[in-house]
Amino acid sequence: MNQPSLFSHRAWSGIAACCLVLAALPVLNLAFADGHPLHVPSYMVSLVGKFMCYALAALALDMVWGYAGILSLGHGVFFALGAYAHGMYLMRAIGREGVYQSDLPDFMVFLDWKTYPWYWTATDSFWYCLALVVLVPGVLAFVFGFFAFRSRIKGVYFSIITQAMTYAFMLLFFRNNTGFGGNNGFTDFKRILGYSISAPATKATLYLVTLAMLAGSLLLCRWIVKSKLGRVLQAVRDSESRLMFIGYNPLWFKLFVWTLSAVLCGIAGALYVPQVGIINPSEMSPANSIEMVIWAAVGGRGTLLGPIIGAFSVNGLKSWFTGAFPNLWLFALGLIFILVTRYLPQGIAGLAARLRKEQP
Amino acid sequence: ADTIKVGILHSLSGTMAISETSLKDVALMTIDEINAKGGVMGKKLEAVVVDPASNWPLFAEKARGLIAQDKVSVVFGCWTSVSRKSVLPVFKELNSLLFYPVQYEGEELEKNVFYTGAAPNQQAIPAVEYLMSKEGGGAKRFVLLGTDYVYPRTTNKILRAYLKSKGVKDSDIDEVYTPFGHSDYQTIVANIKKFSAGGKTAVISTINGDSNVPFYKELGNAGLKATDVPVVAFSVGEEELRGVDTKPLLGHLAAWNYFESVKNPVNTEFIKKWKAYAVAKKLPNANTVVTNDPMEATYVGIHMWAQAVEKAKSTDTDKVIAAMAGQTFKAPSGFTLTMDPTNHHLHKPVFIGEIRPDGQFSVVWKTPGPVRANPWSPYIPGNEGKQKL
Amino acid sequence: MLQVEKINQYYGSSHTLRGVSLELERGKCIALLGRNGVGKTTLLKCLMGVLPVSAGAVRLEGRDITRMAPHQRARAGIAYVPQGREIFARLTVEENLLMGLATHSGRKASTIKGEVYELFPVLKDMLHRRGGDLSGGQQQQLAIARALLAEPKLIILDEPTEGIQPSIIKDIGNVIRLLRQRGDMAILLCEQYFDFAHELADQFIVLSRGEVVASGAQAAMNDPEVKRHLAV
Amino acid sequence: MKKLLLLACLLLSCAAHAAIDSALLAPLAGGDPDARVEAIVKIGALANDDATRLLAALKNDALYATPDGRIFIVTDDKAYNPATGETGPLPEGLDGVMVNNRLRGAVDDALSALKLFSPDRAQRLAAATELQKSVTLAQAPLIEKALAKEQDPDIRTMLQLVAGTANLQSPDAAKRKAAVEALADSSNANLRPLLQAMQSDKEPDQAVRVAAAHTLQALDSRLARTEFIGNVFYGVSLASVLLLTALGLAITFGLMGIINMAHGELLMIGAYTTYLCQLAFRNYFPSAVDCYLIAALPAAFLVTAAVGIALERTVIRWLYGRPLETLLATWGISLILMQAVRTIFGAQNVEVANPSWMSGGVTVLGSLVLAYNRIVIIVFALLVVAGVWLILNKTRLGLFVRAVMQNRRMAGCVGVSTAKIDMMTFGLGSGIAGLGGVALSQLGNVGPDLGQSYIVDSFMVVVLGGVGQLAGTIIAALGLGEANKFLEPVAGAVLAKIAILVFIIMFIQKRPQGLFAMKGRSAE
Amino acid sequence: MSANEHLNISSGRVAGEGLDTTHGAILYLEEITVSFDGFRALNKLSLDISVGELRCIIGPNGAGKTTMMDVITGKTRPTSGTAFFGQTMDLSRMTEYQIAHAGIGRKFQRPTIFEQHTVFENLELAMKTDKRVRPTLFARLSSEQHGKIDEILKLIRLSGSERRLAGLLSHGQKQWLEIGMLLMQEPQLILLDEPVAGMSDAETARTAELLNELRGKHSIMVVEHDMAFVTEIAQQGVVTVLHEGSVLAQGTMAQVQSDERVIEVYLGR
Ligand SMILES: Nc1ncnc2c1ncn2[C@@H]1O[C@H](COP(=O)(O)OP(=O)(O)OP(=O)(O)O)[C@@H](O)[C@H]1O
Ligand SMILES: Nc1ncnc2c1ncn2[C@@H]1O[C@H](COP(=O)(O)OP(=O)(O)OP(=O)(O)O)[C@@H](O)[C@H]1O
Ligand SMILES: NC(N)=O
Ligand SMILES: [Mg+2]
Ligand SMILES: [Mg+2]
């Protein structure tokens, strides 16, 4: 309405172009043989697929951090729970092809478990697990958020308890007896919905689903941010108490984005597992959640596109540096973080906005 | 191509860098050594080093990159079991080769992996046997102390089954786990002390990584001496002891398939080369570098692979796998190690060493010769007859 | 004492101060008048160094202070009572007062002169309360007391009577009069309360949209021309 | 059996001769473990200075053998031949005599039995204490003999307990009863199984059983008390570590609002400075090496403060008022610092040894060992806290720091050089982190990742206490330390840690601003 | 544009749904005490406001005026005493947003607006609508609502500035914006804490004019230190003087101004 439009026309065309290019990658990978100039190596495709999952997580984080001012240092837990929920299905789909040739996953055979524990009930259903992907992070976030927001926990206090939460979950999942494979987590998946997980076509499909989810989430988030609710969220960020005096109950607004964000993050995790092939508790380590925040910050928080750009650039650089300068890459990455904060206070997206202003 | 590319996949940053960095260096040294002798099939080896940064999904990504992008013929790498598990599907999918140089919990056999570290029966079981022997102190009670993850949990499960088979009661076994990076061992050491009041006790430590130093410092300061309660560790070697004041640890034990202190010409040569390499490459603390078991396993693995390639006259994965069967190598441990034709594990000797004040180990027990690996522990029901690929 | 020469200031692209000049002598009080949003506060902030000026010069006792940081200007003898009080909310009243002594050293830096308590007795009762817990008017009093403790050569007051009860406004008026009579201090008073300013000032200037549109001696303040610039 | 032999020999205690029969020595160099143990027992039975010297040498790895089986005690580059009593140059082909735990145990037993009759009080006391652990019925006559000779009251008490322990297995019921009663004041946990056994049918005598039950009860309650006190101590000790690691952060984060992810790396730099000080002392003042810690304290403070100031001047000062951005920049700094240390010192841990005055511990209440390094660190933490408190509350600097952090612009307007205060405050916080690093180096690893393991805990402590509240930080550290140590024995380390984290989450619900919340209008 | 037209827009309801004002009073404070660590900011304060009344409250700095408003709006919980909105709503049991929802609007002593939002958005957020999550998400401004915002913009003379960030306004402009937000809320009871502080004399007069227009349509409570302004708006109504947390005097402006005690503690001689 009276808002400057969130994305300019140029940004819209940019987004569309990016989507096209991204969508073309797996197609080129399948269509052209290795060696052909237009061939995209499958390594590249799986890398970009992984980055898109990270980008979705960063986008989710930006909704709470950038717009509602809630800094979560524990989003890794939602990501991982989504991943574990999907992982349960993938584990069941291994069937008897595990090393112990049992109906149970190898790690359960190993623990001498004879049946699935109750929380594995029905996880052989793909759709049930998809529901879990949404429900588990969603319900956890809702309950956690409800109590935290109701107690009016804010700022670093909130950040730290989210960190405590993810840390606690990490330790819990590290225990073998928790029933999620302990430190090794889930890996060695064989198939999804009957299709071999390592088949190029399956991979391309997963990739495209991820792309669609990312683009869809971007649109959804944009719609929310541009609605009046988006403005209420920003008011929560800036002056929550003032908002109460004009009649809004911040609790439900916060809870809404917080839960939405957790669900998006869970979906990101669910898409991540089959593409990366492993989920284990280290995804819930506090450092991982902080890294998500870093992606959003580097890209520019409160901009929707920024976190996506941030996730791609930080992870892209990390992938490239760790191969190209295995001994020096931390210097380079660290320096980039410092320079971004120093010279690009609004992140990469802010730089883009500045350039646009300077040469209209 | 006029070179053969080999991948090196060890964390150079993050929590595992502490252990894995030196494996990368040993691998590079070994490759230099092979190249100096003319390479393999007349081609030089070219190492591609990447840093998976102690991040398991990154291990998988890097493995894929090495195989698919850099087209390496073989990868030497991984330390933790979870990093191995995370790259396994990649190696299977792309049908490539991984050489894994670290002792591990077993319960695994993969066509695409060669395990040059110890399986439980090549390390844990003999160590416990020793502790129960008269010479080892005749321990009757056991504290199984480990970091909370799969290697310690699995090892302890096997050990518990083994101890039971030897008539040790459950009440004489205490199993204790600490989180990764745990640094406060006051309570645990006090509890060990309490437990040991009930009879001759030994501690079997599968503590990994950073927690070892605080554990040993606490042990030393609490006055628990090796003559009272010996601790045998499976993840503590010369490299880890570099960070500890070992004087109070005199007599505590470790079980490995190699110690730097074993005396034989191959080892002398190996140590000399390594020290010279460290100085030449200006590695940090080059004048105090030590060798250890995973380093030896790396060294052996690379040489065996080179031999197999020569034999196969190809770097093709399946041909190399075939040629690996029965490969032998005169290892720094002083024995000639053989690659088992059926289970991809090495036949290795087992040594038990006591910590000396200088941070080295004096060998107090060893097997007469190399032992075949049982990756599937026979003490776990259902594992019978699984020892072959 | 204070010379301001043609200073200009921009907030981004909006030109807030346009060539404002003024001159103030020791022992004199100048009133700065103008409607809401014309740039009074901005001008005072520029004098204190909180905002940079893009052109022009500020001189204190002949010394060019245009590029000095606020703390250097404070040490050079300027004290500032900002609009909105800017109390150190989590310091006690006493500590807030001690902050007023930040430019002093030695014993002087730790002794709060009794005068301020005579002027603002309420502060004495509340020495150990946190600044932020005070009522609005109490905070305003605290802010003035803090500035006076610095014993400045130039005191800048941005709407000092805002939110203060009538009797204390009278007291503050008396203090300003006293300071003026003492003759060792120059006073720059930005005020919406016309009668108050009229009573105390020797001179005045009127700002409108960042420009000086009228100025003169106290007597000229009641001119309809001046009033016109203040009316809506 | 072994002990019986030893005793027999001891009691016969023949006159000392100058040298040891080489036939006795020969098995030591041989490969038969049983023969070696037997040899040690026999040598111990000689009970003369030469035997003591030989056994001590064996224990300290100073015993060597030639390939033909002759034994030498090597000190510096002289070889003493115990068989001949001659000292000469080192013979060809000397090789250390292998000692393992079993042998070491035998040597210890032999030595402590010898030492019971030593003229040195400390040695006798140590021997008596040692015997308490392992005494058997067979040794009872020896103990009685020592008891008869002993004058020192402390050692007598100890020996009485030892005698009691030995006599528990006496076939004579009266003796057993006396022994059980004598042990009523013991706090030796090793007695429990014996006493417990005496409760069962294995003990034929009813009176002894009753007495044993009494003693066992007394012992148990004493042990329980000891355990409780032990837990309190462990908790305080953990708290002191948490406090030292969190204190610097309480300043850089709590007061300045910088989400300082590089805090852990400042701890690490402090620890590495300690390492360098130790190296320097080892190389240049080997005689004073035990004092390296004293030098390390100011050094670590200055080095980390300097690093902190450099960071503040180059990076952080651009970020005031943008607290969330500090997270990103300091994360970058932390990566760089970690990798820098890895490049310079290697990825492996470096060794930092406790100075000898901090090694070991003091035994209290019979069985509770309070490690010296822990005690020192508790005291050190108290001193640092006191210092920080004084600086922040009793100096003008402290006032300015708080003022600048609350209202930077106004602080400038009243004449405070905010840039200088920022620099000094960050330097102070960093320097204190450096001191924390010194303490950590005495407990655990010194490696490039050192900081990473403490950063999460540090933030929890600071936040739980209430950001900007020094007193809160202290109480939070203490609370977490104690809670952890009382939970750990019940739940195990992993569940205890999870429980603590859940507790933190719950606690913040009750106190959304931390333990010491700011109340009133000023809190908004 | 005069304030008159504004009144047409605001529904002009005096009492809304659920508010029972059968006894004629909209607000009752009874024996309210608020203490902060032993200091009594309010001391057994009793006060009531009738429907449609414009009540001026004066009193020395620190008398407890702002604290009283804090109690009414739920920001501070009374240590003892009761506060009722209408006959039935116990304010001490309601949260801030429930109170706002029930129809009490407040302007703070220091202007508090959403600095990162534009002037327009500030008004939009304050507007009386369903303020729950779902309606907010799907809210679209009707042309009527749009018109209303425009009216208010004109009234507070920020018409040209509706797209400016509110944080960039001058002090006086922020005061006006906050008054505008209050009007958007259409509350039944308006609390104004020093509405003309920092306004020029002319602006003050305008504000007085506005309040005189609102009189009778809303119940209003005004706290001010500007005596000219208070005289202007109090007219013949009751002025209450607070001192040390309780009522010191009450009466018409003329009565109060001549009260010795009021002169002593507040007006000065
Ligand atoms: N940080 C800022 N960025 C952009 N514009 C600003 C900023 N601060 C103030 N302004 C604008 O500059 C103009 C002058 O503001 P200033 O605060 O100096 O006014 P003033 O004369 O003090 O008004 P008042 O009497 O209301 O205090 C106003 O129009 C205001 O909107
Ligand atoms: N949280 C608090 N802690 C301690 N004292 C407080 C707190 N809040 C208010 N006070 C004290 O309560 C008294 C009443 O404050 P209040 O703000 O209500 O005064 P007021 O009547 O609004 O004054 P003014 O006209 O100056 O705005 C003051 O003396 C103030 O210092
Ligand atoms: N395999 C191990 N040591 O994790
Ligand atoms: Mg102003
Ligand atoms: Mg007030």
Checking phi first, is residue B313 left (phi over 0); if not, alpha (psi -120 to 50) or beta?
left
Using CB atoms, pick whichever of D98, D361, D443 lies closest to residue B222: D361
B194 vs E19 pLDDT, higher one = B194
Shortest-distance Cα residue to atom 31 of ligand 1:
E169
Is E151 contained in some domain?
Answer: yes
Q: Of ligand 1's atoms, which has the minimum distance to the CA of residue E161?
A: 31
B80 Cα: distance to centroid of ligand 3 (angstroms): 4
Residues in C closer than 8 angstroms to E67, CB to CB, are: 135
Q: What is the pLDDT of residues B293-303, one digit of tens each?
A: 999 999 999 99
Same structural domain for residues E199 and E175?
A: no
pLDDT at C207: 93
Tokens representing residue D137 in the block: 């019925």
Interface test with B, best of A104, A169, A176 (most B CBs within 10 A): A176
* E112, closest residue in chain A (CA to CA): A242
Total of domains in chain E: 2
pLDDT at D524: 56
A159 pLDDT band, cuts 50/70/90, is very high
Q: What is the pLDDT of residues E143-197, one digit of tens each?
A: 999 999 999 999 888 998 989 999 999 888 898 999 999 999 999 999 999 998 8
Q: Is the CB of B104 under 6 A from ligand 3?
A: yes
Q: Is the CB of C84 under 6 A from ligand 1?
A: no
Q: What is the pLDDT of residues D172-228, one digit of tens each?
A: 888 888 888 888 888 777 788 888 888 777 778 888 888 888 888 998 998 899 999
Using CB atoms, pick whichever of B148, B184, B354 lies closest to residue D101: B354
Closest ligand by atom to E242 CA: 2
pLDDT at A103: 87
Mean pLDDT over residues E121-141, rounded? 92
What are the structural domains, with CATH classification, of chain C? 27-40+68-201+213-230 (3.40.50.300)
D10 pLDDT band, cuts 50/70/90, is very low
Chains that touch A (3 or more CB pairs under 8 A): B, D, E
**Are D505 and A164 inside 8 Å of each other by CB?**
yes
B387 in reach of chain A (CB within 8 A): no
Q: Is C77 helix (H, G, I), strand (E, B) or coil?
A: coil
Between CA B226 and CA D102 the distance in angstroms is: 10
> Considering chain B, what is the average pLDDT of its residues?
92
pLDDT surpasses 50 at E131: yes
Contact indicator for B116, B103 with CB cutoff of 8 Å = no
Residues in A closer than 8 angstroms to B153, CB to CB, are: 176, 182
* B230, closest residue in chain D (CA to CA): D101
Tokens representing residue D241 in the block: 């570590």
* Close Cβ partners of A338 (under 8 Å, ≥ 6 residues apart): D315, D329, D332, D333, D336
**Are D399 and C99 inside 8 Å of each other by CB?**
yes
Closest ligand by atom to B146 CA: 3
Is E227 contained in some domain?
Answer: yes
Other residues' Cβ atoms within 10 Å of the Cβ of residue A342:
16
**Are D352 and B245 inside 8 Å of each other by CB?**
yes
**Are E171 and C83 inside 8 Å of each other by CB?**
yes
Among E136, E151, E186, the domain-final residue is E186
Closest ligand by atom to C33 CA: 1
Q: How far is CA C21 from CA C81, C155, C188, C207, D92, in A?
A: 21, 18, 13, 11, 100
Q: Of ligand 3's atoms, which has the minimum distance to the CA of residue B117?
A: 1
Residue spans of beta strands (DSSP E) within chain B: 3-9, 44-50, 74-77, 98-100, 113-115, 141-147, 173-178, 201-206, 231-233, 253-256, 328-330, 336-339, 346-347, 351-355, 361-366
Between CA C131 and CA A69 the distance in angstroms is: 27
Same structural domain for residues E240 and E174?
A: no
* C84, closest residue in chain E (CA to CA): E110
Q: What is the pLDDT of residues D61-83, one digit of tens each?
A: 888 888 888 888 888 888 888 88
C153 in reach of chain D (CB within 8 A): no
Between CA D438 and CA D455 the distance in angstroms is: 16
The structural domains of chain A, with segments of one domain joined by +, span: 42-283
pTM of the model: 0.91
Interface test with A, best of D325, D342, D452, D510 (most A CBs within 10 A): D325
Contact indicator for D169, D137 with CB cutoff of 8 Å = yes
pLDDT tens digit at each of 389 positions of chain B? 689 999 999 999 988 888 899 999 999 999 999 999 999 999 999 999 999 999 988 999 999 999 999 999 999 999 988 899 999 999 999 999 999 999 998 888 899 999 999 999 999 999 999 999 998 989 999 999 998 888 888 899 899 999 999 999 999 999 999 887 888 999 999 999 989 988 899 999 999 877 888 898 888 888 888 988 999 999 999 988 887 888 888 899 999 999 999 999 999 999 999 999 999 999 988 988 999 999 999 999 999 999 999 999 999 999 999 999 999 999 999 999 999 999 999 999 999 999 998 889 999 999 999 999 999 888 887 776 666 66
Please give the backbone phi and psi of residue B181, each rounded to the nearest 5 degrees, phi first: 75, 10
- The C-alpha of E268 sits at a distance from chain A's nearest C-alpha, in angstroms, of 35
A227 in reach of chain E (CB within 8 A): yes
* Close Cβ partners of B356 (under 8 Å, ≥ 6 residues apart): B246, B250, B261, B362, D61
Contact indicator for B384, B378 with CB cutoff of 8 Å = yes
Which single residue is written with the structure tokens 């979906």?
A267
E197 Cα: distance to centroid of ligand 5 (angstroms): 11
Shortest-distance Cα residue to atom 2 of ligand 1:
E168
**DSSP states of B238-277:** HHHHTTS--GGGTT-EEEES--TT---HHHHHHHHHHHHH
Task: Please state the ipTM of this predicted complex.
Answer: 0.90
Q: Where are the alpha helices (DSSP H) in D250-322?
A: 263-284, 292-314
The best mutation among E42, E66, E222, E247 to test binding of ligand 2, ranked by most ligand atoms within 8 Å of the C-beta, falls on E66
D26 Cα: distance to centroid of ligand 4 (angstroms): 101
Is E16 contained in some domain?
Answer: no
Same structural domain for residues E71 and E193?
A: yes
Other residues' Cβ atoms within 10 Å of the Cβ of residue B101:
28
Residues in A closer than 8 angstroms to D322, CB to CB, are: 345
Interface test with D, best of C48, C73, C99 (most D CBs within 10 A): C99
Is E136 contained in some domain?
Answer: yes
Q: Is the CB of B115 under 6 A from ligand 3?
A: no
Same structural domain for residues E92 and E193?
A: yes
DSSP H/E element including E246: strand E246-251
pLDDT at B387: 63
Tokens representing residue A305 in the block: 């596109």
Q: Where in the sequence is the domain holding E129, given as residue range(s)?
A: 112-186
- DSSP3 helix / strand / coil % (chain E, rounded to 5): 40, 25, 35
D259 in reach of chain A (CB within 8 A): yes
- CB contacts under 8 A, A 124-183 vs D, are 147-148, 151-154, 156-157, 160-161, 163-165, 167-168, 171-172, 174-175
Tokens representing residue D457 in the block: 């805990």
Among E186, E204, E221, the domain-final residue is E186
Q: Of ligand 1's atoms, which has the minimum distance to the CA of residue E175?
A: 26
- The C-alpha of B222 sits at a distance from chain A's nearest C-alpha, in angstroms, of 28
pLDDT surpasses 50 at A1: no
pLDDT at A131: 97
Between CA B279 and CA B287 the distance in angstroms is: 7
pLDDT at D253: 92
The CATH number of residue E51's host domain is 3.40.50.300
Q: Of ligand 3's atoms, which has the minimum distance to the CA of residue B80?
A: 4
CA-angle at D311, arms to D310 and D313, nearest 5°: 65
Chains D and C touch (3+ CB pairs under 8 A): yes
- The C-alpha of E106 sits at a distance from chain A's nearest C-alpha, in angstroms, of 7
Residues in B closer than 8 angstroms to A192, CB to CB, are: none
Residues in A closer than 8 angstroms to B16, CB to CB, are: none
C202 in reach of chain D (CB within 8 A): no
Which single residue is written with the structure tokens 């989210």?
A162
Chains that touch E (3 or more CB pairs under 8 A): A, C
> Considering chain E, what is the average pLDDT of its residues?
88
> Side by side, which strands form the sheet with E89-90?
E39-50, E25-36, E80-85, E89-90
C156 Cα: distance to centroid of ligand 5 (angstroms): 24
Q: Which of D407, D519, D507 is nearest to D465 (CA)?
A: D507
Among E186, E219, E248, the domain-final residue is E186
Neighbour-count burial of C26, counting CB atoms closer than 10 A to its CB (0-12 exposed, 13-18 middle, 19+ buried): middle
E37 Cα: distance to centroid of ligand 2 (angstroms): 13
Residues in B closer than 8 angstroms to D453, CB to CB, are: 181, 183, 210
pLDDT at D114: 75
Is E17 contained in some domain?
Answer: no
Shortest-distance Cα residue to atom 29 of ligand 1:
C37
Which single residue is written with the structure tokens 């809630």?
A70
Is E239 contained in some domain?
Answer: yes
Q: What is the pLDDT of residues A48-84, one digit of tens each?
A: 999 999 999 999 999 999 999 999 999 999 999 999 9
C39 Cα: distance to centroid of ligand 1 (angstroms): 5
Is E9 contained in some domain?
Answer: no
Mean pLDDT over residues C78-105, rounded? 92
For residue E107, what is the DSSP state?
Answer: E
Q: Is the CB of C40 under 6 A from ligand 1?
A: yes
Residues in A closer than 8 angstroms to B68, CB to CB, are: 41-43
A234 in reach of chain E (CB within 8 A): yes
Is E243 contained in some domain?
Answer: yes
Contact indicator for E199, C228 with CB cutoff of 8 Å = no
Q: Which of B113, B135, B126 is nearest to B159 (CA)?
A: B126
Closest ligand by atom to B78 CA: 3
Give the distance from CA C179 to its chain's centroid.
13
